[in-house]
Amino acid sequence: MAGYKNKFSNRKHAVGGIVASGMALISVLLFVLSVILSYKAEGFGGTSVGTVALLSLAFSVFGLIFGLTSYREINKYYTFSAVGSVASGIMVVFLIMLMVSAIV
């Protein structure tokens, strides 16, 4: 029992971090939906696939903003803030690269 240390505190998770993680999850799910729609349309999805992909980009951008601003909350746990910020940042970079490569 000497190796176990319990921490008791009244800190909670940052609300912005939870929101950022949720938005990152929604962004990933929307991206998967756009890939499925494009596959079913055999690459000719048109505006429906583009709309879902842009919506995924919007969720990831706002998730990144919420995740980074959640670090301003004082005396909170920042686990969800880190997860949401990193996941949203990866999705932003990936989706922008995908959309730029589709234009060229």
On whether the CB atoms of residues 35 and 95 are closer than 8 A, the answer is no
pLDDT at 3 over 60: yes
| Model pLDDT, residue 31 | 94
Kindly give the residue spans of alpha helices, DSSP state H, lying in the chain. Answer: 15-40, 47-69, 79-103
* 57-104 pLDDT per residue, tens: 999 999 999 999 999 988 888 899 999 999 999 999 999 998 899 877
Token output for 35? 């890939």
Helix axes 15-40, 47-69, angle to 10 degrees: 160
On whether the CB atoms of residues 81 and 12 are closer than 8 A, the answer is no
On whether the CB atoms of residues 17 and 84 are closer than 8 A, the answer is yes
